[in-house]
Structure 1
Amino acid sequence: MSYITSFFDNYFLLIDAMSIYIMVGLLFAGILKQLVPDDFVSKNLGTDSTGSIIKATIFGIPLPVCSCSVIPIAQGLRKEGASKGAVQSFLISTPITGVDSILATFSFFGLIFTIFRVLSSIIIAIAVGLVQNFLEKESIKKEKTSLKPMFSTTGTSTTSLNSFTPKPTNTSSDSSCGCSSKNEKKSFSIKKVFSYAYVTLFEDMVKALFIGLLLGAAFTTFIPKEYSSLLFENQILTYFVILLFAIPLYTCATASLPIAAAFMIQGMSAGAAFIFLTAGPATSAVTMSVVYKMLGRTSLIVYVSTIAILSLVFGFLFDSIFDKLEILNLSHHMDELSILNRTASILMLLLMFYYLLIPYFSKKSSCCSSETSCCSSSSEV
């Protein structure tokens, strides 16, 4: 019985620590969605230049998109002609440095860790894009070099070789993308702000968030510190174990925070938590399969290996520089809870259970309606 009580105490402790920041972050995300034009990103990422990578990274920072919904957007950008490097940079920076994720990171780990996470994520995103575009240009050069003997020295060779250079495809008029080709200026709508924030975005992340909170509370409650400290004693070993655990795990940037907090309560270093929070959202099994299908095997190797290496480097740097800094803020939250915090926690819980129970009741109602129709059809016979 004491374990159950402790589990729920830890569960609500995690919710109280992040609820106000998530609710406010989602609101900002909804406002940004109204202010940023729908085609603003796709218009600026069409070349293989360094500028397109930096733009993709910067554009991804404020955009109101979580780890769950960034994948279809990245696919759309690629179809509209964005370079491989720009797409990869966008995939990394967007979910990790979203408004809701930044505020939730601050709620758990404080200002220094949050700034470090944002800046290092930007560097990682740019580095992945630069490596990808460099290798892409090298492979194109090799193709051209190997094809030269096949052509004569006439003026037709240049034209033939140009056909091997990938060109961006303009699919803005393609109805399959679900976007309007007209550049209509959208009017600001408060209703759409709340609808996007607390319906579209929250529904996207609710399952991952719920599971993340459960796992965080479970790790804190049921794993004895004596056992977990054995793993966390060896700092370098911890880095690699956490990296291997995080890479295939499908969790969004915000939902991974309570799990990282639980690991730190058990004695894990802040640098290892950084590795988990960087590699987890950026390299899930789902994201890796999409990168492989969309960009190819070489791009996937570049994507995963660069993220893994730089995550380890930045994790080690954080522990080396800030090893004596107290990062985790959870110990003080229970005493400092305000009415606003408690209200945000209640609202977030209500929204979570609402969106988690909707599929169950909708299936049940559809079954009932189908049974009714069947009954009515049988009675007619």
Structure 2
Amino acid sequence: MMTQLSRYVLAYISACWDMLVEMSPYILFGFFVAGLLHILVNPQTIATYLGKRRIRSVLYATLLGVPLPLCSCGVLPTATALRKQGANDGATLAFLIATPETGVDSIAVTYGLLDPIMTIFRPFAAFVTAFVAGVTQNLFGKSYNEQALEQIRLDRSCKVDHCCDGENCPPETHRNHHSYREKLAAALKYGFGEILDDIAGWLIVGLLIAGAISVLIPDTFFEAYLGGGFSSMLIMLAVGIPLYICATGSTPIAAALIMKGVSPGAAFVFLMAGPATNAATISVVYGLLGKRAIAIYLGSIAACSVLMGLLLDKIYGWMHLVAQSTVGSAEAMVPRWFSVVAALVLLFLIGRSFYETWQRRRARPAETCGGSCSCSHSHS
């Protein structure tokens, strides 16, 4: 009995480690790009492009949200700030959907764990879903009013070290009073600090669940019910909507499901619905935009996720590809030794994140987002 248990434990650890090794180089790259985006995005741009026009503002909000690496929890204060800085209702809703469904970190991990088709299709589907929801909100939601941008006070404070508020120094000085080296250091601190703190726990949860699926569930278990088709999409939608998990953490689970026979489309529904929906986001949508926006929010995610899942299965069929054979196809592009080093570096960073978060929580009560999840970083 003990020997059998030991074999399962060793197989479980091995499965978790292999998946971590596959994804680590890509997620480290994602954190780096996330930090650069944080330093480079200008709040004036947000107010200028997200406040006016029913459709154009939604387009800009979606394009802004797709690459940003924020989970359903971290996106809430950001979306609220956008709304207060002049983003209209549709742009705010589009940002709330596009941002947690994908991001540079989850796109990189999708490439490492899945395949190029899913890597391209994931941000495309997130864009379509968010754009549909935002335009629907602006056309059929509560009354649409363009806000006077000149009356809105923007947060122009320095993102590098908060050395100034951006209000009392000329724009030229504000842009140039830090060197490129200082900006790069601030980007690294944010990407491998606050962003890592935000998703570290969910990343570990995703790896642990993926390892359990790989070891404990027989290969033919899902084939009867989740091998493809409309019913498969509905089942995964029912699983994904109430489950709170970030886009990056959901990726190893999707990879494990595909390896066990779940169709790529059904796994994709989980990738779309899981990160985008949770009780906190629903409450924020209600508070900011009203009851009708909740129906548009959930309806758009459900309908677009299922339709995109069905389309993805068709794409694999048209290309005569078997998803199980393409999972992890990017691994061969990175030397094994490099992936192992990246995995060790990522484990060290996650361990440091957990320790520093624990130290902060000992010093003061943990901050909460909407009452449903805890964030280790501050949202300003």
TM-score class normalised by the smaller sequence: 0.7 to 0.9
Deviations 1:324-377 (A, max 9, x none): 3133433884997422211110011111122223344566689xxxxxxxxxxx
Distance 1:64 1:116 in 2: 17
CA contact (8 A) 2:227 2:263 kept: no
Q: Paired residue for 1:311? A: 305
Q: 1:353 aligns with which of 351, 355, 359?
A: 351
Distance 1:21 1:210, change over 3 A: same
More displaced 10-residue stretch of structure 1: 109-118 or 225-234 = 225-234
Percent of aligned pairs sharing the same letter:
33
**Aligned pair in 2 of structure 1 residues 295, 168: CA closer, same or farther (>3 Å)?**
farther
1:121 paired residue number = 126
* 1:261 corresponds to which of 255, 258, 261: 255
Maintained 8 Å contact 1:22/1:101: yes
* 1:250 and 1:281 in contact (8 A); partners too: yes
Please provide the CA RMSD for this pair: 2.8
Alignment match of 1:104 (pick from 104, 109, 115): 109
SS in 2 for 1:185: helix
Quote the Cα distance in structure 1 between the aligned partners of 2:280 and 2:218.
Answer: 32
Matched positions, count = 340
Q: Name the SS for the 1:249 alignment partner.
A: coil
Query: What amino acid is the match of 2:13?
Result: F
Residues 82 and 168 in structure 1, CA contact (< 8 A), matched pair in contact too: no
What 5-or-longer segments of structure 1 have no aligned partner?
142-164, 367-381
Correspondence for 1:330 among 292, 314, 328: 328
Structure 2 residue corresponding to 1:223, chosen from 211, 217, 231:
217
- Closer/same/farther in 2, CA of residues 320 and 173 from structure 1, 3 Å limit: closer
Matched residue, 1:72: 77
Contact 2:12 2:215 in 1 (8 A): yes
CA deviation after TM superposition for structure 1 residue 228, in Å: 3.0
The answer to whether structure 1 residue 208 and structure 2 residue 196 are counterparts is no
- Match status 1:59 vs 2:64: yes
> Given that residues 249 and 285 in structure 1 are in contact (C-alpha distance below 8 angstroms), is that contact kept between their aligned partners in structure 2?
no
Structure-1 residue corresponding to 2:342: 344
> Structure 1 residues 90 and 174 mapped into 2: Cα distance closer, same or farther (>3 Å)?
closer
1:94 aligns with 2:99: yes
Q: Which TM-score applies when normalising by structure 2? A: 0.81
Deviations 1:231-250 (A, max 9, x none): 32463222111101111211
Counterpart secondary structure, 1:322: helix
Task: Indicate if the aligned counterparts of 1:173 and 1:181 stay in contact, CA closer than 8 A.
Answer: no
Q: Deviations over 1:184-209 (max 9, x none)?
A: 32633222121011011101111111
Cα distance in 1 for residues equivalent to 2:101 and 2:154: 31
- Of the three residues 255, 264, 271, the one matched with 1:270 is 264
| Structure 2 partner of 1:149 | none
Q: Comparing 202-211 with 227-236, which one deviates more in the overlay?
A: 227-236
- The aligned residue for residue 288 of structure 1 is 282
Relative to structure 1, is the Cα distance of residues 278 and 362 closer, same or farther in structure 2, using a 3 angstrom cutoff? closer
Shift of residue 96, structure 1, vs aligned partner:
3.1
The runs of at least 4 aligned residues of structure 1 exceeding 6 Å deviation read none
**Structure 2: any 5+ residue segments left out of the alignment?**
1-5, 157-161, 365-380
1:68–1:298: structure 2 CA closer, same or farther, 3 Å change rule?
Answer: same
**Superposition pairs for residues 40-189 of structure 1, below 5 Å?**
40-136=45-141, 140=143, 167=147, 170-172=151-153, 180=165, 182=167, 184-185=174-175, 187=178, 188=180, 189=183
Q: 1:109 to 1:304 in 2, by over 3 A?
A: same
Distance change in 2, residues 1:363/1:117 (3 Å): closer
- Per the alignment, residue 297 of structure 1 pairs with 291
Give the whole-Å Cα distance in 2 for the aligned partners of 1:174 and 1:63.
18
Conserved? CA contact 1:7–1:221, under 8 Å: yes
Structure 1 counterpart of 2:284, which letter? V
On the 8 A contact 1:246/1:284 being kept in 2, the answer is no
| Residue in structure 1 matched with residue 185 of structure 2 by the alignment | 191
Q: Which residue of 1 aligns with 2:29?
A: 24
Comparing 37-46 and 197-206, the one that deviates more: 37-46
Alpha carbons of 1:172 and 1:195: their partners in 2 closer, same or farther (altered >3 Å)? same
Higher mean C-alpha displacement, 30-39 vs 49-58:
30-39
Q: 1:364 to 1:80 in 2, by over 3 A?
A: closer
Does the aligned pair in 2 maintain the 1:121–1:278 contact within 8 Å?
Answer: yes
User: Does structure 2 conserve the Cα–Cα contact (< 8 Å) formed by 1:29 and 1:100?
Assistant: yes
Which has the larger displacement, 252-261 or 107-116? 107-116
Q: Which has more radius of gyration? A: 1
Query: 1:66/1:232 Cα in 2 relative to 1: closer, same or farther (>3 Å)?
Result: closer
Please give the alpha-carbon distance, in whole angstroms, between the structure 2 residues aligned to 1:118 and 1:71. Answer: 20
Residues 173 and 25 of structure 1, relative CA distance in 2, 3 Å threshold: closer
Q: Check 1:87–1:5 CA distance in 2 against 1; reply closer, same or farther (3 A cut).
A: same
CA contact (8 A) 2:53 2:146 kept: no
Q: For the residues of structure 1 that align with 2:213 and 2:69, how far apart are their CA atoms?
A: 30
How far apart in 2 are the matches of 1:70 and 1:180? 23
The verdict on how the C-alpha distance between 1:325 and 1:140 changes in structure 2, with shifts beyond 3 A counting, is same
Residue 173 to residue 94, structure 1, CA distance change in 2 (3 Å): closer
